[in-house]
Amino acid sequence: MPKELAVSVDKMMEIQATAYSQSCSIEIVGDIINRQQYDGIANSYSPNYAIRPCTMFPSCFLIDPDNPNETGTFNSQLDSFKWSEVSTSGIVVVATSEKASVVSGYEATTEGLNKGTLFIKSNSVINKPRTMRFEGNWTDPISGYKYTFIANKPLYLEDTTNARAEIMLDSAPAVLWNPLKHASTRTITAKVMVGAIDKSADAKARIWWYRILDNGTRQLISSVDDSENYEITAMTKAANGQITSITVNCDMIGDGIGYEVRACYIYEGSVPSSPRTGDPKKVTYIKRTIPPLTPQFVGDGFGLNSDTAFVTCRAIVSDNKGVIDPSVWNKIIRAKWQKVSYGKVVNNGVVTMTENVMVLGYGETFQCPFEAKKSIRLTIEDRGAYELIVDENGNTLVDENGNYLVSREIDENS
């Protein structure tokens, strides 16, 4: 065996630890960005994370200062990580490497090259900003040094709500109602529109209906049983109790009537009990109008002998659309028969023609007494609209059941 002459000092062979530099940044994966728009009227988000989540990837890098070459992400080697939601309510852990989801609406990838990826499946809330915080850890087995990766990414929410209400009224500003041709019942419907959304039945909507009186004042309409509602026969109310339509008996509007509709929609805050100055309004006026008529009459002989006692005449009423059935016009208008005698007056050599008119009777047909050299004239008279009957003090009269007493200026039997 060889004889040892000298022995050196022992030296330990060790792996030299590397002092890495580190970085971490959160990237948005895909086209669903971290900025949303919210429409409170449609209650919609764009983009909607509940349908397509916002995906965040925390890119973690360890960089060797002695190796300037580009290195890949370090996510797959992380020992642990956690995601937290930071808001005015505090910091809440939403996902961890041990549990992909801690809070509903969040989910994370816990293995592989995409380790740490967060899927945000819950939409943001107005006036409650939130930021997503990532924290990852890795301990160098050689040096025992613990590297921590931290990054933050805010989520933005823009309120694009346009809460300006508009009224849609299915009645023109001016409506000409012809009692000879049009149905007596007319329904007027209002809608409260906010954008393209009908909010008429929403609890945040209010609708006010007013009758416009002859002196220009407004009279609130609240129920079909209101004592003033002699012309309103029915109304429809939405689930929120607001009147959305009224049905009017046009025979009871006199010469005309007006209605004003006011509305509002309060996106946030309390709903007012009465309309405000800036709230929208729509007005419709219904006017009773009988267009020009053409009266004609036919008779059994106007060139008869002196023994003729009567001439039977029948009235024919027409407008620009043709002859009107007498069963219709008899209720609205009446035929008046007159005898006309012509004469002349001479005054200082000036001759003036005169006529004397005498009423003979009324009705679609009439037996006119025959009288030579006398003319028969047919005149059409409006019976007038139905009106409330009042006493000498202007008080409205009612029957024993409390119903209003109404009458035309000329009774149908006249």
> Could you report the per-residue pLDDT of 189-241, keeping only the tens digit for each?
999 999 888 999 999 999 999 999 888 899 999 988 877 788 999 999 999 99
pLDDT at 141: 87
Contact 339, 375 (CB under 8 A): yes
Q: Is 253 exposed, middle or buried (0-12, 13-18, 19+ CB in 10 A)?
A: buried
Residue 247's nearest CA partner among 204, 306, 188 is 188
**pLDDT category of residue 32 using cuts at 50, 70 and 90:** very high
Q: What is the mean pLDDT of residues 51-62?
A: 95
Taking Cα atoms as reference points, which of 62, 79, 64, 73 lies closest to residue 113? Answer: 73
Sign of torsion over alpha carbons 176, 179, 181, 184 = positive
Do the bridges between strand 243-249 and strand 256-265 make them parallel or antiparallel, or are there none, so unpaired?
Answer: unpaired
DSSP conformational letter for 142: T
Provide the pLDDT confidence category of residue 307 given band limits of 50, 70 and 90. Answer: low
Q: Which of 9-18, 74-83, 150-159, 213-222 has the weakest average pLDDT?
A: 9-18
Q: Cβ distance 232 to 286 under 8 Å?
A: no
The C-alpha angle with vertex 406 and arms to 401 and 407, in degrees rounded to 5, equals: 140
- pTM equals 0.67
* Residue 155 reports pLDDT greater than 90: yes
Tell me the pLDDT of the chain averaged across its residues: 88
pLDDT at residue 75 in the model: 94
pLDDT tens-digit series, residues 78-130: 999 999 999 988 999 999 999 999 999 999 999 999 999 999 999 999 889 99
DSSP label of 141: T
